[in-house]
Amino acid sequence: MRDDPTNFPPEEFPHLFDRYEKIFQSALQTLGLKPAELRRRSEFKFDSGDAANLEGGIAILRVVEALRLENFLDIALVKTNKGMPGADITCEKKGQKICLEVKAITKQSSGRAGLFLEDQLYEKILENLPKARMQLDATASELQCSLKFFTCVLNWFHQSIYLGQSQYQQIVDRLERDGNQESLKGVDGILFVTKMGQRFLFLNERAKAIDR
């Protein structure tokens, strides 16, 4: 209802708005929610015009859509008590209940100067993993989830364009080899969703049961 060049740059409007509308429509159908029900949740209140909040909320809905396309079932948003840690989404596949924490790598943030594209993404994920593990652990315990996934929605343009399956695999391998940092301890899968809509899912041995 007003000019918003931060969230909707003139060169991307109305195409970006139209894409968001499609994501909302599909995600709401998957979740079985009405728009008013979604707006009751703080992460989906966009009236402030805060760009990071918009990207974060849209990221959750994009993951809902990605899970639907990957044939996950019973996809739902997690309800957490105010001030308590918790993941964002639960779903099921092959009899396994899974919780997912969604972290959006937003356009407002930037990678460390002087690093290669994959190194920039690795460092950003490394920053987010400790809090994400805590949120996943809390939800897995409360809702009896057998698997825990970290989900990275990548809104950085260059990484989305130039990185492919092998580069994302290298990032996951590097996180697994972090030794004393135990970066992926308790994380059974990593799902990347790129700005262009590509999906890259990496599973540990426990989680590979959902793909058999």
CATH number at residue 135: 3.40.1350.120
Please report whether residue 3 resides in a domain. no
Full-model pTM:
0.93
Please report whether residue 199 resides in a domain. yes
Please report whether residue 4 resides in a domain. no
Range of the domain at 151: 10-211
Please report whether residue 2 resides in a domain. no
Domain count, the chain: 1
Please report whether residue 128 resides in a domain. yes
Please report whether residue 176 resides in a domain. yes
Please report whether residue 48 resides in a domain. yes
To 5 degrees, how large is the angle CA 168–CA 174–CA 177?
A: 145
Per-residue model confidence as pLDDT tens for the chain (212 residues): 567 887 888 888 888 889 999 999 999 999 999 999 998 888 888 877 788 888 899 999 999 999 999 999 999 999 887 778 899 999 999 999 999 999 999 877 877 888 899 999 999 999 999 999 999 999 999 999 999 999 999 999 899 999 999 999 999 999 998 866 778 989 999 999 999 899 999 999 999 999 88
Please report whether residue 1 resides in a domain. no
Q: How far, in Å, CA of 37 to CA of 32, rounded?
A: 10
